[in-house]
Structures are given as C-alpha cells and as structure tokens.
C-alpha cells in the first residue's frame, strides 16, 4: 500500500485544451434545448468554460486534501481514499460509487461521516471511511475481461478492507453500480459486514419480477418497464455495443461531455437546470477525471460484465441488516415491500428531495441516514 497523489501530466491537459479548441460543432442543431439529448447551447457554453476558465490544478489540490493510496489486489491496481474518523470508536465504512462518476462523488460526504461532531452530529457516530475507485474507474485499473464485475470487485474490496487495512468487520454503502457491488459483499462475505446501506433496490431485481406483486409493487414494475423502454438506450449500448461507443467518447471531449452531462441532468433533482445542483467546476472535474484517466471504456464493464447471481424469487435473501435511503427524484424507486422480498430491511427513509447522485445533491441527509442506520450495529 503506497500513498497516492492526483497529478495529471501537463501534456494531457494541453492536449485536452487543444481538442476543445478544435471542436467540430454542428452547423444547425435540430433543437437547442434538451429534448433530443444534451443541449447544444449548454454544451458549447460548458466546453468554452472548460477550455478557457476551468482551473484543473485548483481542483486537483482539493482532491489531494484527503488521504489517498494505491495497492495491488488480485492483479488490479486499486486506488482508494482512507480517512480516519474523529470519535471514540469509529466504525469502518466502505463507500462504493456508481456510473458515471468515481470516488470523487463522495468528497462532500466524507467529512460528515468522519467528523460528525463538527457537522451537527455526535462524535460516537464517527466512521473510518474507505472510498475506492471501482476497478476500471478513476485511478483503478480494469478487471479481467470475463466474469462478473460485481463479484470480482467485491472480492477485491473484501481483501482491501480485511487484509490490506486490517478491519475484521465493517459497514458498506453503495449507490447505482456500487449497490450491486455492496450486495455481492453481503452475499459472499456476510460475516464481515455489520450492515449495508443502499440508496435504492438494484435494477437487476427487475429482471425476474414477482408473480404475486401488490398493487404498489405492480405500479413500480409498470413504471420501471416504461422507464427502461424509454430511457435505457444508454445501458443497452454500453452493454452490447461498447466498442461502437468508446472510440468517439475517448477521442472527443465534446462527445464525452455530451454523453455524461445528459445523465447528470436527467437523473438529478435539478428541475431541468444542471447548475442548480452541480457547479461547472463539479461537472468539469468529473469530466476531466474520465478524460485524463481514459476510463470511459472500462467504466462500461458493469454493463457488459453483468452479475450472474440469481435475482428473482429463487435468489437467496440477504440476511445482513440493510438500510435504505431513497431520494424523491431518483430513478426506479421501489416500495419497501419489494425490497423486503430480498433484504433484511431494518431502516427505510424517504428523503423529499435529491436524485440519483445523493452524495453530491443531498450529502447532509445521506450522512444523517447512514449514521442513524449504523448506530445500533456498532
């Protein structure tokens, strides 16, 4: 395990700026708004800012304010943040991010968990927080090209927490892709987990729906099928035709930005205006990380290396104590009764704001729900 600092070579930043300067803009976009995907007008505005005004080195200095490390586990170079808690007996807590982001997503959340007393909480609720870049994201190298992404990732994270860092038991939180990895940890390494906390039921549970749904569950299943039919084209392409997408996205910063910005707008509680939830600096920090680490292609692995664990009625029920915190504008919000088919649900909190990126959008509410859930499990 070695200390790690984010330090993007200047040659990569210079090349990025040159590519931004030579963006080939469409002469006459069909529409200037967001009705047909990313708004050409907003994309031009943000890319102009990226080229002329965005200060990556300033963002890099902020990224390096947390303790970062690199380690090798099963042939994967794993990058992670490890921030110690300020309290009498901090509980180790693993945070797993989703797509399209990285460990960067949790920077607002980390101090609320490591030092709750400084943020309106109680010192005895402190956590030792561990935040990896999942394999193929950020500064972590990809997994082998075959096998389950969630299964392989869970194996490496279990070793990170127990062998590398020496924790015997720990809590785990996940969202989006991170929820799949967290679920696999609870299935495969239940004795190591004091509890798991998720922001929603993983979408894979929809693949084999129950034959006896309640009225509330049927409404959820119907709404989910409609959403998948209307809005999941991105996932179908990333799962089935990644080699068609990747060359353009890794060659053009405009293409990369258009692909990711559309998701941040559609999936967040921003009422159609991205910058009510995310600053330009936040959006461009995420984009620059994807660009500089050249990981847009490897970040598709969770889609084309799907989990092979049974997800329907025959799936094993997870007995690890589980807490859910759902956010009003998130995608595919399952009712509690549906979650209870698969998990030992001990806490269910519904937050009336926020979307698919709660660690960025509603970090205070998320931190409080995590503290509350793990309090009796310490």
- Please give the backbone phi and psi of residue 214, each rounded to the nearest 5 degrees, phi first: -70, 170
How many helical (H) and strand (E) elements, i.e. helices and strands, does the chain have? 15, 9
Give the residue among 274, 273, 370, 261 at the shortest CA–CA distance from 323. 370
Give the pTM. Answer: 0.96
Distance between CA atoms of residues 185 and 337, nearest Å: 23
3-state DSSP helix/strand/coil percent for the chain, to nearest 5? 50, 15, 35
CB 281 within 8 A of CB 370: no
Residue 135's pLDDT is what? 98
The residues carrying an active-site annotation are 176, 303, 356
Find residue 68's DSSP bridge partners.
81
pLDDT at 210: 87
Domains of the chain from N-terminus onward: 2-21+37-377 (3.40.50.1820)
Write out the chain's pLDDT in tens, 378 residues: 999 999 999 999 999 999 999 999 987 767 778 988 999 999 999 999 999 999 999 999 999 999 999 999 999 999 999 999 999 999 999 999 999 999 999 999 999 999 999 999 999 999 999 999 999 999 999 998 888 999 999 999 999 999 999 999 999 999 999 999 999 999 999 999 999 999 999 988 888 888 899 999 999 999 999 999 999 999 999 999 999 999 999 999 999 999 999 999 999 999 999 999 999 999 999 999 999 999 999 999 999 997 655 555 557 789 999 999 999 999 999 999 999 999 999 999 999 999 999 999 999 999 999 999 999 999
Confidence (pLDDT) at 339? 96
| Axis crossing angle, helix 149-159 with helix 177-188, rounded to the nearest 10 | 60
Measuring CA to CA, which residue among 243, 238, 240 is closest to residue 259?
A: 238
């Amino acid at each position: 395990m070695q200390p790690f600092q984010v330090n993007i070579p200047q040659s990569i930043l210079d090349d990025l700026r040159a590519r931004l300067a030579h963006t080939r803009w469409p002469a006459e976009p069909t529409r200037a708004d967001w009705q047909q995907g990313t708004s050409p007008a907003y994309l031009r505005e943000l890319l102009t800012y990226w080229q002329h005004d965005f200060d990556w080195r300033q963002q890099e200095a902020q990224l390096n304010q947390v303790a970062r490390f690199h380690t090798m586990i099963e042939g994967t170079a794993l990058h992670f943040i490890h921030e110690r808690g300020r309290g009498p007996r901090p509980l180790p807590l693993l945070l797993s991010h989703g797509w399209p982001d990285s460990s960067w997503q949790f920077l607002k959340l980390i101090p609320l968990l490591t030092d709750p007393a400084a943020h309106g909480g109680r010192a005895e609720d402190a956590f030792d927080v561990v935040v990896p870049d999942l394999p193929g994201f950020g500064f972590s190298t990809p997994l082998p090209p075959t096998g389950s992404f969630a299964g392989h990732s869970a194996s490496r994270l279990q070793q990170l927490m127990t062998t590398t860092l020496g924790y015997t038991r720990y809590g785990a939180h996940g969202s989006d892709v991170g929820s799949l990895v967290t679920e696999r940890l609870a299935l495969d390494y239940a004795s190591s987990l004091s509890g798991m906390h998720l922001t929603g039921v993983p979408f894979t549970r929809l693949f084999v729906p129950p034959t006896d749904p309640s009225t509330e569950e049927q409404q959820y299943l119907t709404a989910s099928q409609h959403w998948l039919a209307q809005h999941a084209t991105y996932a179908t392409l990333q799962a089935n035709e990644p080699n068609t997408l990747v060359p353009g996205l890794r060659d053009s910063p405009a293409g990369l930005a258009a692909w990711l910005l559309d998701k941040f707008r559609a999936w967040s509680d921003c009422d159609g205006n991205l910058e009510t939830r995310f600053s330009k600096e936040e959006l461009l920090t995420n984009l620059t990380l994807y660009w500089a680490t050249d990981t847009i292609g490897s970040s598709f692995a969770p889609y084309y290396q799907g989990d092979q664990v049974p997800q329907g009625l025959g799936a094993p029920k997870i007995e690890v104590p589980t807490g859910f915190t759902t956010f009003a504008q998130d995608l595919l919000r399952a009712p509690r009764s549906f979650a209870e088919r698969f998990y030992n649900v001990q806490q269910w909190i519904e937050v009336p704001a926020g979307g698919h990126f709660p660690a960025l959008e509603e970090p205070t509410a998320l931190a409080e729900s995590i503290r509350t859930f793990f309090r009796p499990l310490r």
